[in-house]
A = this chain, B = another copy of it.
């Protein structure tokens, strides 16, 4: 894939309806063309010592950094971000150009 990636790792607050947040996020990425790929997951495997309380991963792919920058100021993103931030207990965000070192033949 490569491209420019926006990675968000979070721990949701205990009383949050994660399904609702996910619906909002899927709506967001479907409305913004700049988001080329979006995948997410819930940790089911690693040890608590390794995941350190974090539970969910969200990964968006853009063609280039400028597309990500434009995404951050998109009205739908700005609106969703407020909902998202209110729902999380802690988070880590990394934005980076992806280096593909191995890909399916």
Residues of A that sit less than 8 Å from B by CB: 1-2, 5, 7, 9, 25-26, 29-30, 35-46, 50-52, 54-55, 57, 59, 65, 68, 91-104
Contact = CB atoms under 8 A, between A and B. Distances in A.
Determine how many copies of this chain the complex contains: 2
7 contacts: A36-B102, A37-B103, A38-B101, A39-B101, A43-B95, A44-B97, A57-B96
- Candidate in A35, A36, A101 with the most chain B CB atoms within 10 angstroms: A101
A68 B39 contact: no
A95 B51 CA distance: 9
Given A26-B101, A68-B45, A1 B96 contact: no
Contact of A41 (B38, B94, B104): B94
A51 B93 contact: yes
B39 A92 contact: no
A47 B44 CA distance: 29
Contact of A92 (B5, B59, B92, B103): B92
Contacts of A103: 37, 39
